[in-house]
Amino acid sequence: MLTLFFVVFLDLIGFGMIIPVFPFYAQKVGLEPASVIFFLGLYSLGQLVGAPIWGAWSDRIGRRPVLLLTLLANAAASWMLAYADDGLTLGISRVVAGLAAGNISAAYAYTTDITTDETRPKALGLLGSAFGLGFILGPALGGLLAGSNPDDIGALARVAHGAAVLSLVAFVLTFFRLPESLPPDKRAQKGGPRVSLRAQFQRPVLRDLLMSTVIVVAAVALFQSTLALFAADRLAVGPRTLGWIYGFVGVISVVVQAGVIGTLTKRFGAANLTRAGALLIAIGLACIPPVQSMGFLLLALALFGVGSALFNPSMSGLVAATAEPHERGAVLGAYQSAASLGRVIGPFLASAVARATSLSWPFIIGAVVSMGGVLLIHTRPKTVVRESEEAPPTG
């Protein structure tokens, strides 16, 4: 399990390194700011397509081959980014990186293979911490390597090379230290029934929670895809400072999720925390457009970071509560699909809004959208379970 932790950790650091650098790199090859946001959305689109494909393939051929193949693909995408000198190559590199990032489903499947019901929560928590730590250290390391001069194209390419090297290190670690977790006799035999996302949306309470997830995650994606461009334009910051800014948000998220989320959930309940999280996201986004100083920006980002850290785990708990044990996997799968859809919609919407108006408006739209998500969290999730319990038997 420790080996898998380091594999995911290294891969996520490589991903995070690109975040504060990509907008500057893209503009150097001739893309307008609004187009940069669109290209960021290509990564999410690739991830949306890749996740179910790699998950299904890992059931058939094993987890290890999928992890090895996708780590190589990620290294290739970063290498391609380092030498991109036009929009087409840049776009292909982002799509390939997104497709490769779909290996997260294989990593979670690996964890469930090697754990029992008793040890699984702790193992999944360890894997989740690899994501959080990678997202904190990655942007900071990327900004450190790139330096403060956004015009230094060589420094920006150096970050992409560094991300490629980390993916290759993770590949070597997987090849020599990570055994296969799924023996041949337990591999997919045409699996169970397919999950119908449409059927999940026909359940009233679950439908509202899934729609809220799409809406709020789209608002978060609006923020993520626009922040670097906005901060560079409004505060004239470079890649290094942007790396620390993203790291600041990541630290807040990890502190809240690892330190106080359990206590807060016991005291206030998951539904209240989900509403509070979406509301804080909206307030944080609304505070960004008038920013004129770094201090005020960090205050807005602190509100946003706390909100995001409250919303994500609380919403997943609410969604899980709508399901009975035998259907929990399918319901949580629908939740992941809703979140992925939001991550695709957000950057594309931000690109269109920024192109038609300015870099401030995506944050305003995101704030309004997030408030819409608050309104959908209005019913106790146990209603669904009661409905299934009280329904008369059939057949």
> What is the SS3 string spanning the chain?
CHHHHHHHHHHHHHHHHHCCCHHHHHHHCCCCHHHHHHHHHHHHHHHHHHHHHHHHHHHHHCHHHHHHHHHHHHHHHHHHHHCCCCHHHHHHHHHHHHHHHCCHHHHHHHHHHCCCCCCHHHHHHHHHHHHHHHHHHHHHHHHHHHCCCCCCHHHHHHHHHHHHHHHHHHHHHHHHHCCCCCCHHHCCCCCCCCCCHHHHHCCHHHHHHHHHHHHHHHHHHHHHHHHHHHHHHHHCCCHHHHHHHHHHHHHHHHHHHHHHHHHHHHHHCHHHHHHHHHHHHHHHHHHCCCCCCHHHHHHHHHHHHHHHHHHHHHHHHHHHHCCCHHHHHHHHHHHHHHHHHHHHHHHHHHHHHHHHCCCCHHHHHHHHHHHHHHHHCCCCCHHHHHHHHHCCCCC
Which tokens belong to 203? Answer: 């359940």
Same fold, 1-177 and 197-395: yes
How far is residue 284's CA from residue 220's CA, in Å, rounded to a whole number?
A: 11
pLDDT recorded at residue 386: 38
pLDDT recorded at residue 270: 82
Residues 197-395, CATH architecture = Up-down Bundle (1.20)
Which tokens belong to 235? Answer: 């505060």
How do the domains of the chain map onto residue ranges? Answer: 1-177, 197-395
pLDDT recorded at residue 189: 60
Residue with tokens 């950790």: 9
Task: Please list, in sequence order, all residues whose beta carbon lies within 8 angstroms of the beta carbon of residue 177, skipping any fewer than 6 positions away.
Answer: 3
**Blockwise average pLDDT, block size 10, the chain, 395 residues:** 83 86 82 82 84 79 92 95 89 92 78 76 67 81 82 81 94 94 76 52 78 92 89 89 86 78 82 93 96 95 92 78 61 72 88 90 94 78 41 37
pLDDT recorded at residue 146: 85
- The model's pTM is 0.73
Which residues in 27-59 are b (16+ Cβ under 10 Å) and which e? bbeebebbbbbbbbbbbbbbbbbbbbebbebbb
Domain 1-177: homologous superfamily in CATH: MFS general substrate transporter like domains (1.20.1250.20)
pLDDT recorded at residue 394: 36
pLDDT recorded at residue 320: 67
Residue with tokens 């403060």: 148
